[in-house]
Amino acid sequence: MSCDKSTCSACDKNGCASHGRLPNETQEQYEARQRLADRMAAIRHKVLVLSGKGGVGKSTVAANLAVSLALEGHRVGLLDVDIHGPSIPKLMGLESYAAYAEDGCIVPAEVTANLRVMSIGFMLQDRDTALIWRGPMKIGVIQQFLRDTEWGDLDVLVVDCPPGTGDEPLSVAQSLGDADGAVVVTTPQDVAVSDVRKSVMFCRRIGLDILGVVENMSGFVCPHCNQTIDIFKRGGGEAMCQDMGVPFLGRIPLDPEVVQAGDRGEPFAYLKSKTTAGVAMLEAFAPILALVGRAGGGGSSEPCACGHTPAS
Ligand code: ADP
């Protein structure tokens, strides 16, 4: 399967189309690597959303970050590679979308003209069936998603990664090549923060920049008495950031409307932007919006060392 799309601006990092096969690489593996490099070269910024454990709001942050970026007018892709718990179809109201192939590429769902979404959930016939795949199969699916989804040219790809620090997030990070970095999501209590410390170490070990940590579910404002209740404690994520020397992006409070919007498949960051949680989300996302708003990014407009002029 080939998408016939040729760029070479990634040649210094992922290998470009004019480079030969690596030692021990089959022709098929070589072509797959080139297709991945070409695909990634058409995407200016890549942001991974990671968490130390499940249930802390990683997919919620990824979905709302993607929506916030699209609302700024950027061309955005949202890729859900959380193989065991793909929540993006539900959160984005896309449960009825079934992915299909066209010209050898996987066609993502188009939410608006500038927001496309792809999820492993779109490939499952029965959404209640748990996937029982061994490691290499999962890695193969993740790589195929990155390689064969027809995003077109994007300003930014937001990737909702599997939780933890195992082979799956590692494969995503390695396949993306020149990612801008990771947004790490945690909740404030010690059991979550101790896992997120591992995520920070994981990023450092693989050379992935940490764009910052979001402390989600941080405080709950009681609608009856207006007092703030710290259900999962408060400040744990921020303290960890100071301790480990990584940027703190901000706190998002617990808000039942976040759950309801997610269950209805409505983008909270768009519909509820004026609420306390909506404002907190936008504040936390501001550095990422600024990063994508700046000129430049992943692909280079300089000629490659191989002499080709990269496609724009
Ligand atoms: P993860 O991707 O880490 O497993 P999800 O994003 O799927 O977590 O969120 C898990 C649940 O928590 C969902 O029902 C979501 O709506 C809810 N949730 C996430 N963030 C908040 C928040 N700030 N306030 C209330 N509920 C939230």
The angle, 0 to 180 degrees and rounded to 10, between the axes of the packed helices 276-293 and 58-71 is 60
Largest CA distance in the chain: 67
Q: Is the pLDDT of residue 132 over 80?
A: no
Q: Is the pLDDT of residue 123 over 60?
A: yes
Cα(12)–Cα(296) distance, integer angstroms: 16
What is the pLDDT confidence band of residue 9, given thresholds at 50, 70 and 90?
very low
* Token digits of residue 31: 């072509």
* All residues at 6 or more sequence positions from 92 whose CB lies less than 8 Å from its CB, including other chains: 63, 78, 109, 111, 117, 265, 267
Cα(45)–Cα(156) distance, integer angstroms: 4
Q: Is the pLDDT of residue 142 over 90?
A: no
The CATH number of 31-293 is 3.40.50.300
Q: C-alpha angle with apex 114: 12 to 35, nearest 5 degrees?
A: 30
* Residue range 78-100: mean pLDDT, rounded: 91
Q: Parallel, antiparallel, or unpaired: how do β-strands 210-221 and 228-229 relate?
A: antiparallel
Cα(107)–Cα(103) distance, integer angstroms: 9
Which residue owns the Cα nearest ligand 1 atom 19? 57
First to last CA, the chain: 24
**What φ, ψ does residue 200 adopt, rounded to 5°?**
-65, -45
pLDDT for position 10: 47
CA of 259 to the centre of ligand 1 (A): 7
Q: Is the pLDDT of residue 301 over 80?
A: no
Q: Is 262 in contact with 216 (CB distance < 8 Å)? A: no
310 DSSP assignment: P
- CA atoms in the 13 A half-sphere facing the CB of 79: 30
pLDDT for position 189: 84
Quote the mean pLDDT of the chain.
84
DSSP H helices, the chain, are 27-41, 58-71, 88-91, 135-148, 167-176, 190-206, 236-244, 256-264, 268-271, 276-293
* Token digits of residue 147: 């390689």
Of 88, 259, 266, 268, best ligand 1 pocket probe by most atoms within 8 Å of the beta carbon: 259
- CB atoms closer than 10 angstroms to residue 283: 13
Q: Is 60 close to ligand 1, i.e. is its CB under 6 Å away?
A: yes
Q: Is 189 close to ligand 1, i.e. is its CB under 6 Å away?
A: no
Of 60, 67, 78, 279, best ligand 1 pocket probe by most atoms within 8 Å of the beta carbon: 60
CA of 231 to the centre of ligand 1 (A): 14
pLDDT for position 310: 39
- CB atoms closer than 10 angstroms to residue 255: 22
Give me the sign of the Cα torsion angle 256, 260, 266, 271.
Answer: negative
Q: What is the pTM of this model?
A: 0.88
Q: Is the pLDDT of residue 290 over 80?
A: yes
Instruction: Compute the chain's Rg from CA coordinates.
Output: 19
* Residue range 195-200: mean pLDDT, rounded: 91
Cα(285)–Cα(302) distance, integer angstroms: 30
Cα(133)–Cα(144) distance, integer angstroms: 15
- Summarize pLDDT for 17-43 with one digit per residue, the tens: 446 778 888 888 888 888 888 888 899
The top-scoring range by mean pLDDT among 55-69, 74-88, 210-224, 263-277 is 55-69
Q: Is the pLDDT of residue 119 over 50?
A: yes
Q: Is 187 close to ligand 1, i.e. is its CB under 6 Å away?
A: no
141 DSSP assignment: H
Cα(99)–Cα(290) distance, integer angstroms: 32
- CB atoms closer than 10 angstroms to residue 74: 19
